[in-house]
Copies of this chain bind each other. A is one copy, B any other.
């Protein structure tokens, strides 16, 4: 039986510390982030990521996946905290007594750590601001077998609670890199890679070109799309057919439609 530390008070410093990680400023300062839910923590564990601290409620029913998490945390010298449902709700926003919460050390985000030849598809997001969109892009990246998600310029924090939740654990299976546009382009052009942007300023249908891996699918900001200089840097600009009144798709949807087209081409070849 793994020893659990019991915390009963809202004013406990550990409770305050964990709660502070819901805030970006504190995440950055501490180099730590939160992930919630048995499914997501189990995905993390399977990908080799063990929380430093695991928090569960004193009313959590026994569960083999919880046992596995506790054992892994203990083996790495981490801490298992048992607390009330009320305190867990304050930390996680969920009143479910089965909720589990993990504190993780930041994942590496250096561009140079990526092996571009490890995967035929990479996703690239430029100033994506909605954490749900960013997490959804990670989830889609996992589904299409992408290597990871490269965040350019001022994207929302991929380690926010909302992004981690929307990723459904793909945060732990996809590589994440952060860079500015100039550094990314310098890195990209130092090796193979086809940069494909979706744009309204082209007549090229997204099903027309032949994509050559590794394909880097570039998606711009939700409101503004891609800046002109990013479009100019692309090897290919393509557009999805738009049959209605609207001239654009949700950013995460556009990324997914594009990524499945590339995957479908690769499956056929």
Given contacts A253-B253, A257-B257, contact A246 B142 (CB under 8 A): yes
- Assuming the A-B contacts A170-B246, A246-B143, A246-B170, are A241 and B253 also in contact, with contact meaning beta carbons closer than 8 angstroms in the complex? no
Whether B143 pairs with A244 at a CB distance below 8 angstroms is yes
Measured in the bound complex, the distance between the Cα atoms of B240 and A83 in whole Å is 41
Q: What is the CA–CA distance of A266 and B169 in the complex, to the nearest angstrom?
A: 35
| Cα distance, A230 to B46, chains bound together (Å) | 32
Bound Cα distance from A146 to B243, whole angstroms: 8
Looking at chain A's contact residues, is the secondary structure mostly helix, strand, loop, or mixed?
Answer: helix
Q: Pick from B169, B207, B242: contact of A143, CB below 8 A.
A: B242
Chain B residues lying within 8 Å of A92, measured Cβ to Cβ, are none
Contacts of A130-171 to chain B: CB distance below 8 A: 132, 136, 139-146, 166, 168-170
B residues near A260, Cβ cutoff 8 Å: 240, 257, 260
Which residues from chain A sit less than 8 Å from chain B, CB to CB? 43, 46-47, 132, 136, 139-146, 166, 168-170, 173, 207, 240-246, 248-250, 252-253, 256-257, 260, 263-264, 267
